[in-house]
A = this chain, B = another copy of it.
């Protein structure tokens, strides 16, 4: 009944894992990177292009999808897969992070969180149960529980309060999940989220309580929100030491290529981040040498692709000089082509990491990557 996760290999030199989990919309090789399809679409791209970029699973934002297109539309269409024509697995977040990030007035109680839509100011109320219901209607393959967030960096007492509320909400979420059914005839899974800020005793308590609830996988939340890299890695390391080995581990909101490799080394299986897509639209693309700014005047006459040897559609067809031109005149095609390259780069990164783990040479791979890469 729970998610099927095959742990295929753990690197002998570190905690890096290669595995595969299975949903009714397809299997996902781990480590996996999930591009962010905020409002149902990974910005600028078709579902076909995502597939061509080797994407195996995409992320949707519950907060955004709930507001637009809204539940009536999603239900009428039979869920997000049929609406956006992405036939692979979808993971949806709980909406909590977006709600907490809103400038608009929001009110958090032990019952849930009230917020105002960034579109029209209309008021809405998310509870742990409501967020399960919404994700039933979205029809994601994996749904996240609503967690209780704090501003970062948060002091101990605030982090402790957030952890305690998150555990309560997780219990309510799981109970509601187990007492409801999917709408669209395929199995949905639910992941819990570990909180506790940068305090190890809180993280330990959170892991114990959240894991006791028994979810299909576990996310490490509350990181990548302003703490130092050392703190993040230390907490990630602490968490992966304590999370069950037989289920997927997801580090939410991470990150840069070097951060992803750090976290894979520490035993994380799943990632999501807006960096590849948002950077692309700003004209920053990734190469194995580091980031490259398309708008830089030095690329004006460059007839080479963004990266030699890259087999993405963009590099196979268009020059850096042409991309420079497209960005200079603000043609949408430029944003598309850069997005394709960056998503492809991230998919290639986790794929190469996975191959290295399967061949028990992850740290050698990581070292070689970082020697070349200057981010």
Decide if B328 touches A336 in the complex (CB within 8 Å). no
Decide if A322 touches B43 in the complex (CB within 8 Å). no
**Per-residue CB proximity of A39-72 to B under 8 Å, as 1/0?**
1110111111000000000000000100011001
Decide if A336 touches B332 in the complex (CB within 8 Å). yes
Decide if B329 touches A68 in the complex (CB within 8 Å). yes
Give the complex CA separation of A73 and B326 in angstroms: 13
| Residues of B close to A45: CB separation below 8 A | 333
The listed residue (B43, B68, B72, B321) touching A73 by CB distance below 8 A is B321
Decide if A77 touches B321 in the complex (CB within 8 Å). yes
A335 at the binding interface (Cβ < 8 Å): yes
**Per-residue CB proximity of A302-321 to B under 8 Å, as 1/0?**
01000000000000011101
- Given that A76-B301, A300-B73 are known contacts, is A43 also in contact with B321, CB under 8 Å in the complex? no
- Given that A73-B300, A300-B73, A317-B48 are known contacts, is A333 also in contact with B85, CB under 8 Å in the complex? no
Give the complex CA separation of A303 and B39 in angstroms: 18
Interface size class of A (residues with CB under 8 A): 35 or more
A83 at the binding interface (Cβ < 8 Å): yes
> Closest CB-CB distance, A344 to chain B, in whole Å?
15
A208 at the binding interface (Cβ < 8 Å): no
> Closest CB-CB distance, A188 to chain B, in whole Å?
22
Give the complex CA separation of A318 and B41 in angstroms: 12
10 nearest A-B pairs in the assembled complex, by CB-CB distance: A69-B325, A44-B332, A76-B301, A39-B329, A41-B333, A68-B329, A332-B332, A41-B331, A85-B317, A83-B322
